[in-house]
Copies of this chain bind each other. A is one copy, B any other.
Amino acid sequence: MIAVLKQGTTPAQIQHLVDWLKHMNLDVHISEGAEVTILGLIGDTSRVDMELLKSLEMVDSVKRVSEPFKQANRKFHPKETIIDVGGVRVGGGYFAMIAGPCSVESEEQIISVANAVKQSGANILRGGAFKPRTSPYAFQGMKGEGIRLLLEAKKATGMPIVTEIMNIATLDLFADVDIIQVGARNMQNFDLLKELGKTKKPILLKRGLANTIQELLMSAEYIMSEGNEQVILCERGIRTFETATRNTLDLSAVAVLHNLTHLPVVVDPSHATGVAGLVPPMACAAAASGADGIMVEVHNNPSCALCDGAQSLTPEQFDELNRKIQRIREVIA
């Protein structure tokens, strides 16, 4: 970590700061120039509060040289992590084709969608049981019963399942769930992350709407620092000024993450765009950008004109998408 001091900082002030830094078990290397004094901090700087340091009157700016994440860091773990999800591998060349309905609604629904997406190439089943909703008056999901139905669909199809947790108090209900999903709104619910770090289950961690790539990695680090290294990262759109799409899908995050970390990265184009017609081109683009998987919504009601336009694909559209994605993966391999 490097701290650039402002011009006019007195030797006494510098000494004061250096003493404080040494007190945190850091070595400090001082480089005094004509214009500027630079402190190089050596040691375990991941514990240094960069914001505090930056806010000191005498400090012009602070720059991390080593990333503040360790276990998620590709530098210390160059080989790609491959996560085993109930027999399905994700990462390091293995592609997750995660599909299913937005919410679990009934046994018939979830089993019929599960069968349809399995036939079209999905290898993991998604479905919401606990639904985070902006309004307290909106449908909040089938909760425990929804998980039970997902497990029925798993039994019927053999596909591993992924579903979202919102509250650590419900963790027992996830005992047979294959991947526990942390939603975008909970990406910095640090207590939840720590508890999930104590489980032995793969965690699918979605990027928050206004969170940087580095913050996503720091949240992965919360899980990993408690002993659970099975984290799958998920890009699902960030909040920007553009309103033509629900969020702005940041596909460059895939390539940036692959440089920084060994963890697999999947992309959710359904929630990012909010419009079914944009899902196939964005899913293809995600595959072309090098993603380790996609996660899309597929509904089970081809006869219902109403649902046709939602952000969910029909099984037929998913089938066609799957074939394109497999071919794109061959191109970029």
Contact = CB atoms under 8 A, between A and B. Distances in A.
Interface stretch (A55-63, A92-100, A110-118): A55-63
Interface string A186-217: 10111100100000000000001110111100
B40 A33 contact: yes
Interface stretch (A79-87, A152-160, A173-181, A238-246): A238-246
Interface in A282-333: 282, 284-290, 305-311, 324, 327-328, 331-332
A71 to B, nearest CB: 10
A252 B289 CA distance: 13
Q: Is the interface of A mostly helix, strand, loop or mixed?
A: mixed
A305 B68 contact: no
Contacts of A274: 51, 54-55
Which 6 residue pairs across A and B have the least CB separation, nearest first? A57-B309, A210-B210, A288-B288, A285-B289, A284-B288, A167-B191
B278 A255 contact: yes
Contacts of A309: 55-59
A213 to B, nearest CB: 5
Interface in A244-265: 244-246, 248-256, 259
A104 interface: no
Interface residues of A, number: 112
A205 to B, nearest CB: 14
Interface in A46-76: 46-47, 49, 51-52, 54-61, 63, 65-66, 68
Nearest to A61: B63
Interface of A: 2, 4, 12-13, 16-17, 20, 29, 31, 33-36, 38, 40, 42, 44, 46-47, 49, 51-52, 54-61, 63, 65-66, 68, 132-139, 166-169, 185-186, 188-191, 194, 208-210, 212-215, 218, 221-222, 225-226, 238-246, 248-256, 259, 272-278, 281-282, 284-290, 305-311, 324, 327-328, 331-332
A272 B250 CA distance: 11
A253 B273 CA distance: 10
28 contacts: A33-B42, A34-B42, A38-B40, A55-B275, A57-B308, A60-B65, A68-B137, A136-B225, A169-B169, A186-B189, A210-B239, A212-B241, A240-B248, A244-B253, A245-B252, A249-B250, A251-B251, A251-B285, A252-B273, A252-B281, A255-B282, A284-B288, A285-B288, A324-B332, A327-B331, A328-B328, A328-B332, A331-B331
B185 A189 contact: yes
Given A13-B305, A309-B55, A331-B331, A136 B252 contact: no
